[in-house]
Amino acid sequence: MVHYGHSNQLRQARAMGDYLIVGVHTDEEIAKHKGPPVFTQEERYKMVQAIKWVDEVVPAAPYVTTLETLDKYNCDFCVHGNDITLTVDGRDTYEEVKQAGRYRECKRTQGVSTTDLVGRMLLVTKAHHSGQEMSSEYREYADSFGKCPGGRNPWTGVSQFLQTSQKIIQFASGKEPQPGETVIYVAGAFDLFHIGHVDFLEKVHRLADRPYIIAGLHFDQEVNRYKGKNYPIMNLHERTLSVLACRYVSEVVIGAPYAVTAELLSHFKVDLVCHGKTEIIPDRDGSDPYQEPKRRGIFRQIDSGSNLTTDLIVQRIITNRLEYEARNQKKEAKELAFLEAARRQAAQPWGERDDF
């Protein structure tokens, strides 16, 4: 998948240098070394390119990073999170570049993983919504999902994401609309931020020479009202970071009202309000949430050209449920074996160690 944990890693990587090139693996490589990918390679290439700290994307990057690859793209060093990534046979994919001193590490984002998001989709519970108590069912899932027999490692598994003002500041642009910019307002759940959202925001961005896009994100309870089931899969705090990481978005309203009111339009000095081709669900009182911008003649419906929705992503997961559960167990078993080998190596007397 591509989620705000990845965006945060790319933000940290970009801060270490001047130009960030991101290598994205093919579906075939991921299936071989990790398990079935949730997004296709074409979706992932475009998703990564839409993250505002990325300067360039290299499609079909090799799973094992070599010095040859770094030299090919004129890279001084490569960056990865402080978790391990292993090949299908359990080897560290960054071994060669680490030995050459061309490897840097950044902090992994606590409280989000593909494992956790996949689990939320498979388990129809609202425990991940902000303001909800964690149910015993979700707690049991969090303790066991993707867990291989014999323990738990610090990377594959489930933990709770804790939003801080510092994290929002790191992701936010901090820029206010400037004279001559067109202020465009869009609103929605933006759940499991995906290529459909990216295509929509890119089209909206093209509507003006100097666009300033404000995205209004609805509260979890509001999203659940019009989407049902256990939506949103990502809570408001997580959705905020996902949208802020997108290069087309300038500002986010955290917990926007469902109806686009005259007060909201005046407050942000909105020039244009856009919505995709998805159905507009009436407000609680049955009214059209876009009646005010329509009355003013500033409402536009935009066709993103993409048919991907959050529902379709969840459908992909459910269809491949057994494969994903097996993936998580296999991945954790591999990581635990690597950790155990590293621990034994460190405990050996110097004369017996084989790392020279």
For 176-211, how does the pLDDT look when each residue is reduced to its tens digit (9 = 90+)?
Answer: 999 999 999 999 999 999 999 999 999 999 999 999
- 310-319 and 114-122 are packed helices; what angle lies between their axes, rounded to 10 degrees? 90
Residue 37: predicted pLDDT: 87
Out of 44-48, 78-82, 144-148, 173-177, least confident range: 144-148
Could you tell me if 98 and 116 lie in one domain?
no
Does 352 fall in a domain?
no
Choice between 230 and 281, residue whose per-residue pLDDT is larger: 281
Q: Is the pLDDT of residue 355 over 60?
A: no
Q: Count of domains in the chain?
A: 2
Amino acid at 201: L
Does 133 fall in a domain?
no
Does 233 fall in a domain?
yes
Does 146 fall in a domain?
no
* 19-38: burial string, b at 16+ Cβ within 10 Å, e else: ebbbbbbbbebbeebbbebb
Could you tell me if 162 and 232 lie in one domain?
yes
Could you tell me if 305 and 325 lie in one domain?
yes
Does 292 fall in a domain?
yes
Render pLDDT for 24-40 as a digit per residue (tens, 0 to 9): 999 999 888 877 888 99
Could you tell me if 44 and 171 lie in one domain?
no
| Ramachandran class of 131: left when φ > 0, alpha when ψ lies in -120 to 50, beta otherwise | left
Out of 81-95, 274-288, 338-352, least confident range: 338-352
Could you tell me if 206 and 327 lie in one domain?
yes
Q: What are phi and psi of 92, to 5 degrees?
A: -70, 120
This prediction has a pTM of 0.83
Residue 327: predicted pLDDT: 62
Residue 344: predicted pLDDT: 81
Residue 159: predicted pLDDT: 52
How confident is residue 147, by pLDDT bands cut at 50, 70 and 90? very low
* Residue 107, Cβ density class (10 Å: 0-12 exposed, 13-18 middle, ≥19 buried): exposed
Could you tell me if 94 and 170 lie in one domain?
no
Could you tell me if 320 and 304 lie in one domain?
yes
Q: Within 10 Å of residue 17's Cβ, how many Cβ atoms?
A: 14
Residue 328: predicted pLDDT: 63
Does 354 fall in a domain?
no
Residue 334: predicted pLDDT: 66
Could you tell me if 171 and 292 lie in one domain?
yes
Nearest partner of 198 among 219, 213, 178, judged by Cα = 213
Choice between 273 and 125, residue whose per-residue pLDDT is larger: 273
Could you tell me if 88 and 120 lie in one domain?
no
Q: Within 10 Å of residue 217's Cβ, how many Cβ atoms?
A: 25
Could you tell me if 24 and 94 lie in one domain?
yes
Render pLDDT for 54-63 as a digit per residue (tens, 0 to 9): 999 999 999 9
Render pLDDT for 317-340 as a digit per residue (tens, 0 to 9): 888 777 767 666 766 676 677 777
Does 142 fall in a domain?
no
Choice between 89 and 20, residue whose per-residue pLDDT is larger: 20
Share of the chain above pLDDT 90, in %: 64
CATH code: domain of residue 246:
3.40.50.620
Domain assignment of residue 49, given as a range: 4-105
Does 246 fall in a domain?
yes
Q: What are phi and psi of 314, to 5 degrees?
A: -60, -40
Could you tell me if 206 and 239 lie in one domain?
yes
Q: Is the pLDDT of residue 216 over 90?
A: yes
Could you tell me if 116 and 244 lie in one domain?
yes
